[in-house]
Amino acid sequence: MIERSAVHIMVLDDEPFMLKLLSRILLKLGFTSVMLCENGRAALERIADTDTRPNVILLDLNMPGMDGIEFVRHLVDQHYEGSLILVSGEDERMLKTAEKLVQAHKISILGYLHKPVKPAALSALLEKWAPISSGVARLAKSVYKAEELRAAIENGELVNYYQPKVAVASGEVVGVETLVRWRHPTGGVVFPDEFIGLAEAAGLIDALTRVVFAEAVTQARAWQEAQMRLRVAINVSMDNLASLDFLDFVTELTTRTGIAPQNVVLEVTETRLMQDTRAPLEILTRLRLKRFRLSIDDFGTGHSSLAQLRDIPFDELKIDQGFVHRAWADETLRAMYDASLSLARQLGMEVVAEGVEDRNDWDLLRRTGCDLAQGTFISQPMLAADLPGWMEGWRERVRTELSMA
């Protein structure tokens, strides 16, 4: 049992009647700290203030002005660390899709409720709220300070891991994605979700990306010399694309290292809302003109993925893992997966499915003609030194277990 009075709950709904109703239900259930908001803007102001920041938000999806999905985008920008419960009169499918979107943003979601809300259902979801368990990873987040990260970047504490991307039809390993880790002097291996946001917020993302990029192209050169033909992908934050220096850095270093731009993939995610999209647009277009490969990452979760597709000539589309794993078993996921695949096809882009975790996922990709696969079914991210050995094992698996000749 949780201490109900210790849970600070915000109810966000445009209908005053719903606000009243929900607050009454909550009080009856023993939740005494309840704050009511009629629109997203007012809610965000209170979330920005540490004194009024809630632990749980009951969020109405359908609101005029800022709707529930847009509101979630802002929660991501504000690094909201509490939980969400979605409330809507929409059908099951809509709520499920919205739930997937929230999960893709890595915001903790306790579940969703249909209107009219039943007290028992609400109570059951709130019981799932656990300050410790949901807080472990997130608590760690605030442990790292910008200064510490700056030093880590300068002292070489960042290490690149590489995860294979394989052709679904042949099993051939066509490339790797670079995923950075922080080998923390005392905290063990720290994952990017715990420091990329910090790097962006603290203005360190440019330094970070340069270190990761430099190590990746150096590694690409070594593979090239060992006759391993691999494309190397690097994750690029929208913030990297704010200044033209980045373009020069990438172009010069790639040329100097002796790597063809065709073998360098830049995976772009829109992690936050862009104020001014002119610079990124120009930089991406020019990188493309220089024959770098552009990839739109986490497709299906971004705020303006479609607008980006319209404006930027991407070569590759990565379907977010949230729409890949178990898509064979869930018709909503399957619809998102199919739609992304066919959109990419029509735009002549290569498609990568992320989050391929088991044989069923892999078989779906085979059946639907997806180009490339990435995920733990194929391999976890690994150190460069482990790649040759893994490739040998993978070829063997392709011949035997996956029987693809």
**Interacting residue ranges for ligand C2E, rule: CB under 6 A:** 163, 179-180, 191-193, 196, 209, 212, 235, 237, 267, 269, 297-298, 321, 354-357, 375-376, 381
The DSSP result for 136-199, as a single string, is HHHHHHHH--HHHHHHHHHTT-EEEEEEEEEETTT--EEEEEEEEEEEETTTEEEPGGGTHHHH
Least Å distance, CB 193 to ligand C2E, is: 5
Contacts of 223 by beta carbon, 8 Å cutoff, 6+ apart: 229, 230, 232, 387
Q: Is 267 in the site for Mg ion (CB under 5 A)?
A: yes
> Which of 83, 88, 235, 301 forms a contact with Mg ion (CB under 5 A)?
235
Least Å distance, CB 246 to ligand C2E, is: 12
3-state class of 306 per DSSP? Answer: helix
Place of tokens 């980006």: 308
Least Å distance, CB 181 to ligand C2E, is: 7
Q: Looking only at residues 335 through 374 of this chain, which bind Mg ion when binding is defined by CB under 5 A?
A: 354
CA atoms within 13 A on the CB side of 128: 15
Peptide bond connecting 313 to the previous residue in cis, omega within 30 degrees of 0? no
Q: Left (φ > 0), alpha (ψ -120 to 50) or beta: where does 204 sit? A: alpha
**Residues 55 and 82: beta-carbon distance below 8 Å:** yes
Least Å distance, CB 109 to ligand C2E, is: 16
Least Å distance, CB 219 to Mg ion, is: 17
Tokens coding 284: 């991406």
Nearer to ligand C2E, 26 or 327 (CB): 327
Interaction partner, residue 212 (ligand C2E, Mg ion, none; CB < 5-8 Å by kind): ligand C2E
Least Å distance, CB 99 to ligand C2E, is: 16
> Which of 270, 297, 315, 350 forms a contact with Mg ion (CB under 5 A)?
297
Least Å distance, CB 266 to ligand C2E, is: 10
Q: What is d(CA 245, CA 205) in angstroms, rounded to the nearest whole number?
A: 13
Q: Is 316 in the site for Mg ion (CB under 5 A)?
A: no
Q: What is d(CA 5, CA 20) in angstroms, rounded to the nearest whole number?
A: 19
Tokens coding 92: 């099951």
Interaction partner, residue 261 (ligand C2E, Mg ion, none; CB < 5-8 Å by kind): none
Q: Which residues of 57-71 are buried (b: 16+ CB within 10 A; e: fewer)?
A: bbbbbebeebebbeb
Least Å distance, CB 150 to Mg ion, is: 23
Least Å distance, CB 65 to ligand C2E, is: 30
Which range binds Mg ion by CB under 5 A, 54-62, 219-227, 263-271, 355-363? Answer: 263-271
Nearer to ligand C2E, 131 or 192 (CB): 192
> Which of 270, 298, 350, 371 forms a contact with Mg ion (CB under 5 A)?
298
For the chain, how are helix, strand and coil distributed in percent, rounded to 5? 50, 20, 30
Nearer to Mg ion, 74 or 318 (CB): 318
Interaction partner, residue 373 (Mg ion, ligand C2E, none; CB < 5-8 Å by kind): none
Pairing of strands 108-114, 83-88: parallel
Edge-first strand listing for the sheet containing 56-60:
34-37, 9-12, 56-60, 83-88, 108-114
Interaction partner, residue 254 (ligand C2E, Mg ion, none; CB < 5-8 Å by kind): none
Q: Is 270 in the site for Mg ion (CB under 5 A)?
A: no
Nearer to Mg ion, 215 or 298 (CB): 298
Nearer to Mg ion, 206 or 267 (CB): 267
Interaction partner, residue 371 (Mg ion, ligand C2E, none; CB < 5-8 Å by kind): none
Nearer to ligand C2E, 262 or 380 (CB): 380
Q: What is d(CA 350, CA 233) in angstroms, rounded to the nearest whole number?
A: 14
Interaction partner, residue 40 (Mg ion, ligand C2E, none; CB < 5-8 Å by kind): none
Q: What are phi and psi of 326, to 5 degrees?
A: 70, 15
| Binding footprint of Mg ion on the chain (CB under 5 A) | 235, 267, 297-298, 354
